[in-house]
């Protein structure tokens, strides 16, 4: 059974309380919060005040996905805002090991995200130091994009690497997850499914989360 992490990028920003209430009452496991800086990715989303308010509106895990340059400058502020998991992009970190140490020392779980072009092998030497790998299944920056099929092979390769080393690292798949492709993603070895459009554009968001969750 996968963990479900709806992305609030597709939520109603004029009524976040309502969407938080829906997620709280649903089978969603995590709140996936996408932070974009307009530099690492060609879009700007939201920052600390929004996350602080979401933190107050839920006791579920706040999974913060940073699509920003120089994440070390802001890690402490994201902890203060309420992040439980902080994920940085490998492509944005010159000193990834140091970034991971910083996140852990602040008392958060550490995640590393890989863009679709970044080889799985590039994560190998820090795999024992992190809690989560976020495999991007779209190019980051926007919700509602189409799933890149090659991600399935990448997921299998990463899962094998994790299992071969008997690690507890979770694989999160982010981008273009639908009711149609979710099963194959889980079968490839994913532990966590991020879903923005599929959940929030649905007529029955809680029912859609339930369907994603029921994949065995």
Q: Is 141 in the site for ligand DX5 (CB under 6 A)?
A: yes
**Torsion sign over Cα 118, 99, 141, 198:** positive
Q: What letters, b where the CB count within 10 A reaches 16 and e where it falls short, cover 172-192? A: bbbbbbeeebbeebbebbbbb
Reply yes or no on whether 34 is catalytic: yes
Reply yes or no on whether 174 is catalytic: yes
Q: Is 10 in the site for ligand DX5 (CB under 6 A)?
A: yes
**Catalytic site residue from 37, 63, 131, 174:** 174
Q: What backbone phi and psi angles, to 5 degrees, belong to 66?
A: -90, 115
For ligand DX5, give the closer residue by CB, 99 or 198. Answer: 198
Q: Is 176 in the site for ligand DX5 (CB under 6 A)?
A: yes
**What is the Cα–Cα distance from 59 to 51, expressed in whole angstroms?**
13
**Catalytic site residue from 34, 37, 63, 131:** 34
117-125, 153-161, 182-190, 196-204 -> range binding ligand DX5 (CB under 6 A): 196-204
**Nearest alpha-carbon partner for 179 in 216, 136, 209:** 209
**Binding residues vs Zn ion (CB under 5 A):** 34, 65, 174
What is the 3 state secondary structure string of 123-156?
HHHHHHHCCEEEEECCCCCCCCCCCCCCHHHHHH
Question: CA gyration radius for the chain?
Answer: 16
For ligand DX5, give the closer residue by CB, 167 or 213. Answer: 213
Q: Least separation, in Å, of the C-beta of 164 and ligand DX5?
A: 28
Q: Tell me which residue has its CB nearest to ligand DX5.
A: 196
Residues that bind ligand DX5 (CB under 6 A): 7, 9-10, 32, 34, 65, 138, 140-145, 174-177, 194-198
- The set of catalytic residues is 34, 174
């Amino acid at each position: 059974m996968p963990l479900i992490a709806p992305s609030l990028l597709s939520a109603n920003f004029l009524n976040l309380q309502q969407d938080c209430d829906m997620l709280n009452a649903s089978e969603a496991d995590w709140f996936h919060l996408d932070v974009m800086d307009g530099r690492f990715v060609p879009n700007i989303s939201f920052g600390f005040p929004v996350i602080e308010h979401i933190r107050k509106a839920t006791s579920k895990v706040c999974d913060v996905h940073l699509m920003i340059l120089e994440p070390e400058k802001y890690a402490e502020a994201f902890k203060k805002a309420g992040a439980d998991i902080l994920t940085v992009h490998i492509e944005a970190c010159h000193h990834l090991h140091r970034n991971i140490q910083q996140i852990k020392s602040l008392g958060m779980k550490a995640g590393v995200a890989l863009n679709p072009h970044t080889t799985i092998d590039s994560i190998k030497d820090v795999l024992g130091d992190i809690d989560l790998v976020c495999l991007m299944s779209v190019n980051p920056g926007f919700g509602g994009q189409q799933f890149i099929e090659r991600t399935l092979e990448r997921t299998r390769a990463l899962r094998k690497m994790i299992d071969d080393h008997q690690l507890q690292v979770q694989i999160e798949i982010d981008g273009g997850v639908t009711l149609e492709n979710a099963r194959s993603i889980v079968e490839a070895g994913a532990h966590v499914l991020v879903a923005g459009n599929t959940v929030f554009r649905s007529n029955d968001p809680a029912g859609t989360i339930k369907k994603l969750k029921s994949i065995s």
